[in-house]
Structures are given as C-alpha cells and as structure tokens.
Amino acid sequence: MSVQVVAAKMAEVELKDVSAGKALPAESPVTPTSEDKTLARNEPQKEAGSSAAAATSPTAEPSAKAGEGNRGLLTPSAAKMPQASALKHSDPQQNGGDAFVNRDGTVAEAPRMKKIQFADQKQEFNKRPSKIGRRSLSRSISQSSTDSYSSAASYTDSSDDETSPRDKQQKNSKGNGDFCIKNIKQADFGRREIEIAEQEMPALMALRKRAQGEKPLAGAKVVGCTHITAQTAVLMETLSALGAQCRWAACNIYSTQNEVAAALAEGGFSVFAWKGESEDDFWWCIDRCVNVEGWQPNMILDDGGDLTHWIYKKYPNMFKKIKGIVEESVTGVHRLYQLSKAGKLCVPAMNVNDSVTKQKFDNLYCCRESILDGLKRTTDVMFGGKQVVVCGYGEVGKGCCAALKAMGSIVYVTEIDPICALQACMDGFRLVKLNEVIRQVDIVITCTGNKNVVVREHLDRMKNGCIVCNMGHSNTEIDVASLRTPELTWERVRSQVDHIIWPDAKRIVLLAEGRLLNLSCSTVPTFVLSITATTQALALIELYNAPEGRYKQDVYLLPKKMDEYVASLHLPTFDAHLTELTDEQAKYLGLNKNGPFKPNYYRY
C-alpha cells in the first residue's frame, strides 16, 4: 500500500512536469493531468493486484493487473477516489490515458501464455517506480495504433536479465552498435514475427514492390516514434526499401516487442526501445534518435506527439528544417492543431487519423467483429434471440448492431442525435430510451463516447445475468465506481469478467470493468494495422515529394487520392477487381481516370 501512495505521488509530480513542460495553451482541453491520474490510479492497483494475482490465479496475465488490483483493493475508497478525480476531466484527451490503460489491459490478454511477462513487469515496477508516471506519455488512442500485443508480446523475455539496456554494449552482426535494445540475440525470433506480419500486410509489401524502383523516399531521414511491433517493423522496412533512413523510438514504455526491436537492430535500423522503459529511459531513447552526429532528420513519424514535442522544444533549429510531420493519434493531432493555432507550427503536418479508410476500419469494421469476439471469449454467450441494447448509433454502434442482428439477436438502440436515430429506425432497430428496456435486456453495450450512460440506477434494475460492456471510449460510459459499495459483492470469475452480486443474489456480468471491450478482450487484426501503416507510409511519401508550396505550415488531411490509394492497395487481399473508367466515361464524369473519384464532402 505504501508503494501505492508513493506511486500516486510520483504520478502527480510527473503530472505537474508534464503540464508545465508541454506548453499547451491553458485553455486547451488537453489534460495530461487526467491521464496521469488515471494512470496513477491504475498503477498502484495493478501493483498490489499483481502480487495478489500472482499468488491466487496463475493464469492472470500482466495487464489483467488493473482488474486484479481492484479486486485486491476492494476497500472502496482506494479504488474510488482516484477514479472520481479522473472523471472530473471532461476532455476528449482523456481518452489518451484511458486508452493507454486499456492497452495495458490488452497486454493482459491471452492469459495462458504470458505469465513470465507478468512477473517481469512487476519486477520492473518495483525497481523503478517512477516509470509509472510515464504511462501517460503515450496518448495515442487510435485503435489501430494500439497494435496487437497479444500476437507475440515478448515471449522471449526472461526476467533474469536485470541490466538496463542503456548500460549494455551490443553490436549487431555487422559490427554496428548504433541502437539500444534489450537483447540483440533475440533477432531471429523477431525476424520470424516480422515475416508472419508481412503475410497479413500485403498492401505494404505491394507498395514496397511498386515504389522500390523509383525510391520515392530517397534522401528522406525519418525519425519515428510509434509502438514497436512486428507490424511497425514491416512499415520501417518498407520505408527503408523506398530509400529512407530511419531512426526509431517507442511511443509507449510497455508496448515494445523486444525481439522485433532486436531484429530491426540486426537489420541495421537504429532502434532505441525496449519493453518496460522508465520515464527517463523514454526521453533518453527519443533523444538518442534525434541527437546524433552527422545525421539530421527531415521527416517525423509520430504517434502521440511526444517526439514532435521533444524536437520542437529541444532542437528548434532542427525542427525548422523538417519537411513534414505525420501524426496518427487523436492526441497528437490535437496537439498539432493547438500548435498551429498558436502560430508556432513552422512545418507542414499531416493528420492521418481522420482519413476515411482508417476511420472506417478503426471504428465500423473492427468493432463489428470484435464485439462478437469479445463477448464470446469472455462469456461464451449465445446471441440468437437475445435482447441487446446498444447505446449510441455512430460508426461503432452501427457495427455492433449489424453484427448482433446478423447473429439473430433482437437489438434495441438508444441515441441522442435524431439523424443517427432515424438511421437506426431505417435499419430496422427499435429506438428506445435505456430505461424502457433495461429490465428485459440480456446484454447492454455502450458506444456513445459519453459518460455515465449506464448508471447505478440502471444496473439495479437489470435482470439476473445481464452482461454489461463498453465499446465506446475510455471507461466513463458505465458508472463502475457506483458499484463499489459494501452491499455488492464482486467476484472475478475469469480474466476481465466480474460478477457483481446484489444482496438478493442477482448477478450482473461486467466485462473489463467498463473499459474498452475490444481492446481488453479481443485483438486488433493485423489487417487493420496494415491500413494504418500504409496510410502513414503514403503520408510520408506525399509530404516528402510534394512540390514546394503545396503544403504550408499547417495540419493537413491526407489527400483523397492517397486515401483511395491506401484502399486500392488492400483490395488484392479480397481478390477484388476494380473497374477502370474508359476515357469517354472519365470525360463524361469530369474525373481523372486515376482519381480522386469523390468530392471532399462525400460521406461514403
């Protein structure tokens, strides 16, 4: 418990640092604070929980820790207070922190395999408590930027190597030592991971082949800060094949796949990243990426905005010479817009988060599958004939409803926006208020992006065995804190699944403690990550090759043509054959045969 307090304090300090250091305009709704606090809240729990979990449930894996922690700490005050503080912040950025926490949750996945990891993390935590504050650093909330930890996350990790990578001298087989990773000897494992990922990322491979001859990135010096996973490795190697020189750091202290980093280092990339960095390590790695003799980056690929911020603050001269920034996360994009608003953005930046293709895959298609997957994995529920209420009919809600309807469920929808509501009606869903159906439904799914959509009052009236889960953003949609009262008994029945038992023996099945179901209890398919990575690569190519003057000192959306190109690169996966316009038809429509095919306001 004392550790917990310390941790919380550290986090607060960190929080101050961050808010002071980040130079975000005061009115900005960005609240690193909320993130940090959220972290602070979860960290201690995790810590305490992990030890408890280690003792009680051998299957629990590291990220379950947050959840496990809660169980351990059931004394309501401890769990509740920090949460309340987090809730006060009502900004979109809060996502960042939460998503991050969720990401942890994701790591927690695949309980059977990851026991070692768990131990590993716990150790590191004890060793360097300051690091926990660092979790707030990665604010990337984009779903596809979350990567699929479950695939391979450091199965070669062993906790016997206690030396910090910073203190080690390693060289790859070519004698190059310009990298810093956990263990260069894991390169072979990593290479295998990368090869597997390549199979599912045909678009990047096709891009590699198509553009290899002309080397569109020849001369580009790309410094990157993203999750370092097999999928990112495929992206980096593609950039390299297109002529770029790359130096890379991790945007998250936990997400690095050590063996992939090793494989990259072996392949000659300057990678500075390992799983379980400390706060200090994190910035050190970024600095090593940027600050190197005789090499100055001219492109930035960022996820979360930390790298951009670092260069902007520490190397303003270098920043001025950057040809372009590509940013993929909501948070990073928000920071760029702030910078741009303040007139301080002196280079063009590209927001790839809001490209049509990426958005559709992150929200509609991905959630359409993961809602079923997540529910099945956790509860083995059978959907046919079940009554389900989906709160919110945006992209995520549309996906969930379509999937459940296809399984034979009876789906109700709640919505606040009349246009979306009318869409729900026309798609054949009954539009109700939650109160009207709460007594009869078997499953409640929230995807509103709002807070307190399902409150204690609703939970009280649900029927026995009702499943409650969240597909929306962060963990605010279900008022989980309200369930931490003495009369209710929490029973963890398996990882990510809690039974909450009322005095009259009614049970509610709460999944992932109200955090994102699709990140906690399901995986992000490589195909979705491929969409993101391809979008990033094309954004880099576009910015690097744009003629003088096309992009000014502002934040741009990916041009529609590039967006279409991302889509077209993924069509071969489906053996889909795109029709080409004849000259005559193109003239009739007034279009270029190669696109763009739609005006910018087209809604798809």
Which residues make up the interface to a second copy (CB under 8 A)?
A: 29, 90, 356-357, 359-360, 364-365, 391, 414-426, 430-434, 436, 449-453, 476, 563-565, 567-568, 570-571, 573-582, 584-585, 588-591, 595, 597-599, 601-604
Q: Which CB, 158 or 585, lies closer to a second copy?
A: 585
Nearest residue (CB) to a second copy, 456 versus 499? 456
Closest separation between CB of residue 326 and a second copy, Å?
20
Query: How buried is residue 588: exposed, middle or buried, by Cβ count under 10 Å (0-12/13-18/19+)?
Result: exposed
CB of 226 to a second copy, least distance (A): 24
Q: Between β-strands 324-327 and 349-351, what pairing exists: parallel, antiparallel or unpaired? A: parallel
In sequence order, what are the residues at sequence separation of 6 or more whose Cβ sits closer than 8 angstroms to the Cβ of residue 528? 143, 144, 361, 362, 365, 366
Q: What is the total residue count of the chain?
A: 604
CB of 32 to a second copy, least distance (A): 18
Of 229 and 446, nearer to a second copy (C-beta) is: 446
Closest CA to 445 of 460, 434, 430, 435: 434
Whether 279 contacts 133, CB under 8 Å: yes
State in angstroms the smallest separation of the CB of 603 from a second copy: 4
Minimum CB–partner distance for residue 438 and a second copy (Å): 12
**C-beta closer to a second copy: residue 356 or 533:** 356
Q: Which is nearer to a second copy, 113 or 432 (CB)?
A: 432
User: Please, what is the minimum distance in Å from the beta carbon of residue 524 to a second copy?
Assistant: 15
Closest CB 571 distance from a second copy, rounded Å: 6
For a second copy, which is the closer residue by CB, 29 or 268? Answer: 29
- DSSP string over 273-322: --TT--HHHHHHHHHHHH-BTTB---EEEESSSHHHHHHHHH-HHHHHT-
Any residues with CB less than 8 A from the CB of 563 and at least 6 apart, and which? 355, 356, 357, 535
Q: Minimum Å distance from CB 484 to a second copy?
A: 19
Alpha helices of 89-229 — where are they, by DSSP H? 94-108, 115-127, 149-152, 187-200, 202-212
Cα–Cα dist 450/448, whole Å = 5
Nearer to a second copy among residue 432 and residue 501 (C-beta): 432
CB of 92 to a second copy, least distance (A): 8
Element (H, E) at 128: none
**Closer to a second copy at the Cβ: 365 or 502?**
365
Q: Tabulate helix, strand, coil % of the chain (nearest 5).
A: 50, 10, 35
| CA atoms lying within 13 Å on the CB side of residue 282 | 27
> Can the peptide bond before residue 599 be classed as cis, meaning omega within 30 degrees of 0?
no
Looking at the Cβ atoms of 462 and 567, the one nearer to a second copy is 567
Q: Phi and psi for 393 in degrees, rounded to 5? A: -125, 50
CB 101 within 8 A of CB 38: yes
Closer to a second copy by Cβ: residue 119 or 437: 437
Task: Give the nearest distance from C-beta 241 to a second copy in angstroms.
Answer: 23
In the complex with a second copy, the residue whose CB is nearer, 112 or 603, is 603
CA distance 138 to 303: 8
Alpha-carbon torsion (189, 191, 193, 196), positive or negative: negative
Min CB(52)–a second copy separation in Å: 33
